[in-house]
Amino acid sequence: MNAFKTLLRPLLTAGATLALAGCNTVVLNPSGDIAQQQGNLIVISTVLMLLIIVPVIALTLFFAWRYRASNTKATYKPDWDHSTQLELVIWSAPLLIIIILGAITWVSTHTLDPYRPLDRIKPGQPVAADVKPLVIEVVALDWKWLFLYPEQNIATINEVAAPVDRPIQFKITASTVMNSFYVPALAGQIYAMPGMQTQLHAVINKPGDYEGFSANYSGAGFSHMRFRFHGLDQAGFDAWVAKNRASGTTLERAGYLELEKPSEKEPVRRYGAVAPGLYHAILNRCVDASRMCMDEMMAIDAGGGLGLSTDALAQRRTGDLRGGPYVASAMCLTSPSAATPNWGVATLAP
């Protein structure tokens, strides 16, 4: 028997090790302060939950054993139906936990708002007043990630880097379908949507090479929509920027339109310069210069659009701007004619 136990113990240990081999604890042991605070919330919520679940399970097993049919010593009260003391215990404990969770949720919702600029780098280290965040513009493509650095005027495909202990401001959008930007070691996932911009403020506190990926199914190439996030010291980040600039390639609008086409398993690409206003055009869906930008279209709508009366348009044509700003007086006619040779062209009138 002892020999059997000696043989069984290493087998059980090996089996448990294999079962846990696929576990990745990065969510509970991240390298970024925001992700660490989010991981703490998971631990706190789990502990509060176990304060109820563990006693309930223990009492269930105890009552099943204590009041089993064969136990003739147990008190038998078939007519018992109520206990005020027991009711107070049953309801007060969950109520207290709900109050605690509500308070934690209220505070953390505001503290960890992804749109809120960081006020600390790590516990006990606030953000210095003269430190500006590193701005990274993120575009979710089919099926790859484009990162634009407006301050450095560079761009990369499927690779991003940031200095350790410097705040980062991500501006996130997408080219076609809804997606989700997620670096578990850095912060929680943030959705990327075409024609819209979401934001994420975060910081990486330890040098390292971390995995980022899409956390929202977006089509056939979704499984390979991954990238590397590098946490570097300032010298390493400067060298990384110089490496990208040395590529000598400029990301023009035409090049972006090619990138936008669906492709899978794209290797890392580097661009030493970026066409002016490219991210603005991507966000407003007008990289193709023949298309009107969304912000221009919204400005037209805000000014009254094409629904103004003839009298109102006449007032504006004569310079009477009391009715509001300029609006479009003709746009996207259905077909050309002798009277309207410039059909399909938007014109602005005062």
pLDDT score at 20: 47
pLDDT score at 248: 87
For residue 167, give both structure tokens: 């705040």
pTM: 0.77
pLDDT score at 71: 87
Strands of 198-202's sheet in order across? 198-202, 168-174, 134-141, 144-149, 154-157, 269-271
Residue 254 exposure: Cα atoms within 13 Å on the Cβ side: 2
Question: Residue 261 CB: number of other CB atoms within 10 A?
Answer: 9
Residue ranges of domains in the chain, CATH in brackets: 26-62+85-112 (no CATH), 125-283 (2.60.40.420), 294-349 (no CATH)
Strands 250-251 and 273-274: parallel
Which residue's structure tokens are 């602005």?
348
**What is the distance between the alpha carbons of residues 341 and 215, in angstroms, rounded to a whole number?**
49
Which stretches of the chain drop beneath a pLDDT of 50?
1, 4-5, 18, 20-22, 313, 317, 321, 326-330, 332-350
pLDDT score at 350: 43
**What is the distance between the alpha carbons of residues 68 and 63, in angstroms, rounded to a whole number?**
8
pLDDT score at 310: 52
For residue 105, give both structure tokens: 């949720």
CB 211 within 8 A of CB 236: no
Indicate the burial class of 323 (C-beta count within 10 angstroms; 0-12, 13-18, 19 or more).
Answer: middle
For residue 241, give both structure tokens: 């920027």
First to last CA, the chain: 97
pLDDT score at 305: 67
